[in-house]
Amino acid sequence: MLKFGGIFLSIQGYYRFPTIHENQVVFVAEDDLWTVEVSGGIARRLTSNLGEVSHPLISPDGKYLAFTGREEGPTEVFVMPTLGGPSKRLTYLGTHNTVVNWKPDNQTIIFVSNAKLPFTRSFQLFEINQNGGISQPMPYGSARNISYGRDGGIVLGRFTADPARWKRYRGGTTGVIWIDPEHTGEFQKLINLDGNLASPMWVENRIFFLSDHQGIGNLYSCLPDGEDLQRHTSHQEFYARYASTDGNRIVYHVGADLYVYDPRDNKDQLIAIDFRTPQIQRNRKFVDTARYFEDYDLGPQNTSVLIVSRGKSFAMGNWEGAVTQHGEPDGVRYRLTRWLKDGHRLVCISDENGEEFLEIRYANEQKPPEKLGGLDIGRPVSLDVSPKDDLVVLTNHRFELVLIDLESKKMTLLDRSNYERVNGVSWSPDGRWIAYSLACTQQTSSIKICQIDSGKTHQVTEPILRDINPSFDPEGKFLYFLSYRDFSPVYDNLHFDLGFPRGMRPFLITLQADQRSPFIAEPKPLVEPEENKEEDSCKEDENVDQMVEQHNGQEQKEKEDDQLVQIDLEGIMDRVVAFPVSEGRYGQIAGIKNKV
């Protein structure tokens, strides 16, 4: 709720890319342009475009509004009257273009573009007349921002993208500000700060900019010689972003709100916006499920399927029956929905309380769901259910492999990588082992297995490059996986270089030391001996009933007694066998009985 003039406003938007001229502020919400007074009040919509709109900039005289639009596909430069009216497209470069400023002459729009540059992330400044024409590059080389002083000085921002997109980034492309205070063509670095700088603005006799060198992006300023650094805002929760000025005051957005800073008072103030919108994007609509398809899971008996689409979970029979939605109809996002072993319950990830947690739901919806709150599961990436017990294993954004007992509601950390997310998890048929791919370095990963009862982990492949996506054989004889370990280089057709366009092949590991490789043929005689044929013929007539009875009894016994998977760990790395198939680009491998 937002309080304005003693009234609580129930509708609030997400406001971005503000620009200011005197008492008028223009900003972006719902991918359109809106205007409001600096003192706040009811916002008025300026555009109702089909494409996305961003980065508006009001001209110095306040008459025109330049902005970046995607009305006809690519991001191009448009201009329109500030008070509203038809817009006009100015550029036709077909590249990434963003409006950054106006020249003081009120006629020339400055934008950055990667047009005619060899790299998509390289940008330089261009200028174009507001009436149209051919855009021309400006003689400043690589730059993302530009601002003018009243005496002709110029301040440039290089690599000055939005710091909030990569918080506390300190790499080689951190934002740097350069200044030419006398407009002589000689630039020098403005200031050295251990942070990411953005949005340089020349206001009166100071250079204002955004920086996160103290942890959170805030507004700072210094003199043109880099001295007298001052901090002007104290936002602690969200970064200050996309600051803009009319030469007197500065506007920027923090979180979903707009703020205005007045250098004369050295105070920032929230702009209280009464945002009255029909919220068209939140209206109910009927969509194609396949277009928003996220995930699926087959039932334990393979007679039903769970589907996650657009954050909602649905269950249905494979061929008949109605479709049932599980969970709240609106307002909650569900992910990674899986059947449990009994086929009567399902487990999923829910964000009902704002933070994601595990939830157990009943397929018949006769009982309330069980919420496993209080478990620090992070942001789950994958979720796999044990075929025998009420256990799930998940991987998360912290590169962790986590086991959760749904009965005791306890969590156990099984393994963790220091480099990448755990890639692929597979349960053994008896539910006593799990196999997964764990990054050993930034360039290599290997297959590991973990014994659930003891929690001990064992590495089963020697990392050459990347071993991924393990899968147990249903009979517990083999462990299949995909591996990047084939080195068959080919010459490039354009450059004098070698490449590895495929380099991938399926492999298997024999889990028992005495298990013969399935790819080694057993030698057989050319002609079967006659005595074997006669002996078999006699026994066939006499014992046929007994053989059938024994066979049926054995099958029944195998069904009744769960076969435990035996894994001989000694020498297991030496039992890796490549499939006799050509190298290629494989995506997934799965085992079925006597087949892959």
pLDDT in tens, the chain (596 residues): 444 444 444 458 899 999 999 999 999 999 999 999 999 999 999 999 889 999 999 999 999 999 999 988 899 999 999 999 999 999 999 999 999 999 999 999 999 999 988 888 899 999 999 999 999 999 999 999 999 998 889 999 999 988 888 889 989 889 999 999 988 889 999 999 999 999 999 999 999 999 999 999 999 999 999 999 999 999 999 999 999 999 999 999 999 999 999 999 999 999 999 998 888 877 888 888 888 899 899 888 888 899 999 889 999 888 888 888 898 888 899 999 999 988 889 999 999 888 899 999 988 888 888 888 888 999 999 999 999 889 999 999 999 999 999 988 899 999 999 999 998 899 999 889 999 999 989 889 999 999 998 989 999 998 888 899 999 998 889 999 999 988 888 887 777 888 887 888 999 999 998 888 888 777 777 777 676 555 555 554 545 455 445 555 555 444 544 678 888 889 899 899 989 998 888 888 888 888 88
The fold for domain 417-534+560-596 equals Methylamine Dehydrogenase; Chain H (2.130.10)
Phi and psi torsions of 555, nearest 5°: -60, -40
Give, as one character, the DSSP assignment of residue 37.
E
pTM (global) more than 0.85: no
Phi and psi torsions of 279, nearest 5°: 50, 55
- Comparing C-alpha atoms, which of 479, 478, 420 is closest to residue 447? 479
DSSP string, 490-514: EE-SSSS-EE-S--BEEEEEESSTT
What is the C-alpha R_g of the chain? Answer: 33
Phi and psi torsions of 2, nearest 5°: -120, 130
Residue 8's pLDDT is: 43
- Comparing C-alpha atoms, which of 375, 382, 383 is closest to residue 356? 375
Residue 285's pLDDT is: 80
**Which amino acid appears at position 187 of this protein?**
F
Residue 231 has which token pair?
Answer: 């901090």
- Comparing C-alpha atoms, which of 96, 97, 95, 275 is closest to residue 79? 97
* Residue 530, H or E segment: helix 530-560
483 vs 581: CA distance, rounded Å: 13
Phi and psi torsions of 364, nearest 5°: -85, 0
What are the boundaries of each domain within the chain? Answer: 1-46+265-281, 284-414, 417-534+560-596
- Comparing C-alpha atoms, which of 458, 471, 387 is closest to residue 423? 471
Residue 447 has which token pair?
Answer: 């297959």
Chain center to CA of 275: 30
Residue 401's pLDDT is: 93
What's the angle, vertex CA 293, arms to CA 292 and CA 298, rounded to 5?
A: 160
Q: Are 190 and 201 in contact (CB under 8 A)?
A: no
Residue 42's pLDDT is: 93
3-state percent breakdown (helix, strand, coil) of the chain, nearest 5: 10, 40, 50
Residue 537's pLDDT is: 53
Residue 159's pLDDT is: 93
Strands of the sheet containing 176-180, edge to edge, are: 145-148, 154-158, 176-180, 188-189
What's the angle, vertex CA 68, arms to CA 65 and CA 72, rounded to 5?
A: 120
Chain center to CA of 387: 29
- Comparing C-alpha atoms, which of 127, 124, 102 is closest to residue 115? 124
230 vs 236: CA distance, rounded Å: 17
Residue 533's pLDDT is: 56
Strands of the sheet containing 124-129, edge to edge, are: 97-102, 108-113, 124-129, 136-142
Per the listing, tokens 């076969």 go with: 563
210 vs 244: CA distance, rounded Å: 11
Residue 12's pLDDT is: 80
The fold for domain 284-414 equals Methylamine Dehydrogenase; Chain H (2.130.10)
Q: What is the 3-state secondary structure (H, E, C) of 186-245?
A: CCEECCCCCCCEEEEEEECCEEEEEECCCCCCEEEEECCCCCCCEECCCCCCCCEEEEEE
Residue 389 has which token pair?
Answer: 């017990």
CATH topology agreement for domains 284-414 and 417-534+560-596: yes
Residue 562's pLDDT is: 60
Q: Are 257 and 25 in contact (CB under 8 A)?
A: no
Residue 548's pLDDT is: 47
Residue 588's pLDDT is: 87
Residue 561's pLDDT is: 44
